């Protein structure tokens, strides 16, 4: 999180939460530890596609990050802003770089 740059209005606790989230999501074998970051019925949005509920979240992540370790993720978040805020909900948007490493015997897929 060297380049993490929260804008005005981003709670300090969000950075701590986001660090833990990335730790869980970068481990291809974790399950509950990854979905524990979402509210019941929460969604993971990847490139505009919404994956709602624990199993859908794990399936979406598993399609991109196989449990066999053939693909590794390393996130480098930077600009972080408050995307929207209501009296009951605050959403954040994080920009950055995702480094993807393929093992020597990995094949590319269209997933």
CATH code of residue 91: 3.10.450.50
At 34-84, the pLDDT tens digits run 899 898 899 998 889 999 999 999 999 999 999 888 898 999 999 999 999
109 vs 78, more confident: 78
Q: How many domains does the chain have?
A: 1
Average pLDDT over residues 16-33: 91
User: Band of the pLDDT at 110, cuts 50, 70, 90?
Assistant: very low
Confidence at residue 31, expressed as pLDDT on a 0 to 100 scale? 84
pTM check: above 0.85? no
What gap in Å lies between CA 92 and CA 14, rounded to an integer?
A: 9
What would the DSSP string read from start to end of 6-70? Answer: EPTT--HHHHHHHHHHHHHHT-TT-SHHHHTTS-TT-EEEETTEEEESHHHHHHHHHHHS-TTSS
């Amino acid at each position: 999180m060297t380049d993490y740059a929260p804008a005005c209005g981003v709670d300090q606790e969000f950075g701590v939460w986001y660090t833990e989230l990335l730790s869980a999501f970068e481990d291809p074998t974790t399950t509950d530890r990854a979905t524990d970051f979402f509210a019941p019925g929460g969604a993971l949005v990847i490139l505009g596609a919404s994956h709602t509920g624990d199993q859908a979240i794990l399936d979406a992540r598993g399609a991109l990050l196989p449990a066999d370790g053939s693909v590794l993720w390393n996130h480098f978040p930077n600009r972080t802003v408050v995307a929207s805020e209501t009296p009951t909900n605050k959403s954040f948007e994080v920009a950055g770089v995702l480094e993807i490493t393929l093992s020597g015997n990995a094949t590319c897929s269209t997933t």
